[in-house]
Structure 1
Amino acid sequence: MKRNWMYATATAFFLLAGCSNSEETVQEHQEKPINEEVNKEGSVEEFAYQYPLTGVGVKEESTNRAYAVMVNNDPKARPQSGLHKADIVYELLAEGNVTRFLAVFQSEEADRIGPVRSARDYYIDLAKGYDALYIAHGYSPEAKEMLDSGYVDNINGMQYDGSLFKRDSNRVAPHNSYITTESILKGADNLGYNMDVPPVSLPFLTEGEAEALAGSSAKTAQISYFSSDLFNVIFEYDEETMKYERYSNGERTEDLDSSEPVLLDNIFVVEADHRLIDDYGRREIDLTSGGKAYLLQRGQWQEVEWKNVDGKILPFDANGQEVGFVSGKTWVNVVPSDQGIENVVSFTE
């Protein structure tokens, strides 16, 4: 089991103790299906709790607050650091044809994350949906107004460049700003942010429900953003691990520091209205109205609808019933509706 965020600094950090939980919260966790896992000795371990953003079983209730980091996806920023530890990654267009990531962490700690990039308003809204501490380096005018207003707890590299945020000498700005989990927790402590309130759990399938999934076969899915191969994404399903690997411009998405691949259990592609708002190519993206979506799980895909529920983008079936995620990590791609999701996403059996 992952350790519960112990950290220390020169100014004496304290162990983050889990906050006391109400009987209602404890009961909610007890009513969820018990997760099982086969240990090295071949016996089955049972877990009474789940990490809220992955559904993965854990013996003790997780009380860590999530943090969400803006991560650069310019080709000069690849390979990135820390993405393989994120519970959820959102990929959306920033300027022009360039996508940018919002990586949400809760169940695992990332030693180093980055390159960290500037804030946009719709990424801030996504972070707020998880009540996550929002980490960015820079901002658009709209985003700065939101951050200055106290809309979300946040730490920005514009105020902490060279202290909490460090520059990597092997890369050039703006592709070289990095932050560590230790620095995020240090900054949160200095700013008085509460980091021991976990996010509300996402809906998850039981293992039996996951094994019974029925959809159209799709061992490979490709997502094309406009005509640029640099931002084309391919997800390949591995039957043995029952996980997806991500490829960008033909290269597997791996961690810069450890070479560990990003391994995913849910690929969620949603169609949303995009509108250009300035000469820089910045966009307004409608993440509230809902629309058409595709959900890939266990080598299969199904067409669903997406809805915004309390700031979170979630899948629903044709009858309006919430669709559960397979336990594990999730990657969400948001594509422009004017292209048509059916023209942006293609599947190979």
Structure 2
Amino acid sequence: MAPTEHQLSDTLLDRLPDGWEASAPDSGDAPEIAALLRRHEHRGRGWAGSGEDDVLIEVSARGYITRENVILRDAEGELRGWASAHDRAAGRMLLVVVVDPRLDEADRETSDRVAGVLFGWADEAARRVGQERGLDVQQIDSGAFADDQRQHGWLEQAGFTKVRTWWQMSRPVTPEEASLDEGDDYGPREGVTIRLVERQGTGMPSEEDLRIVHDVLESAFEDHFNSHEETFDEFVSRLREDPGHRWDHWWIAEVDGEDGTAEPAGALVAAVIDGEDGRPVGSYVEYIGVLANARGRGVAKSLLATVIGDAARRGRDRVGLEVDADSPTGADGLYTSMGWATRYVTQSWHKDVPVA
């Protein structure tokens, strides 16, 4: 979709307050959108963590390959609302809806109206995405901070149902952890080898290793909540878009097979996260997965020890990750035992939109 097209139907345009305008943003709007997003985060979580680079993923020319966006400006031209729809995988569309919290101070009725327009746009985007995918039903997956009652109310009004709770966890890292050994409490486990994905002469990673990571993660998560199969190209392209992406943050875990050769057993993909208030940057675990036949052998603990040690060697002060609070696997027990603690809580809200 071209960035100049907002694809807001006439019905939704008629619901906007007098003098308001809708448009599709481009990279030039990123500073204003980032400021809007930070106000939203301050209200819903108590502090802001997003920056302009995060918004550019959504509204850059490259982002529009898999995303649609719309922004709403009031009669004075001030940015008041933003929605982004990301065709993440077949059957799953991620949705971000942000309404300026300052509207509530002047006119809650207007903020409710703006939210209704943005969620209505999301339904229309879901039908377009579903048609392109050849689906009968398109799922919309949207998130909210656990304490953001305003967002919860809008999601319910738009027909969404809360389906999951997520703990956003963080662990401090000390310089002494730069050389974790097998004998350490948090060190790698005996019989498990962790290696970075191989790099070619050009500096690009080996496609064979990237496919190993993709295959391991797809297999490890196939029975997890709301798992939707993602093609190799979708997976790699999406992660490369992340401003925190680094090829030297992709690891493969191997164990000895029955014939004595090393076999892939797990994988971890991490990213760089910006510091807050001048603090050093941290690392963030985007994915960690272990194959079913390798569980119980310390593979996950070895991968986590690797990312902790890597962060310490780079002078970072923490490692973050997300864990499913409703998962029956008990993964949170491992994270807690290794020093992670919940920093804040988020929720997933879903809606199924008929495509026809």
TM-score by length of 1: 0.27
Structure with more relative contact order (C-alpha pairs < 8 Å, separation 6 or more): 2
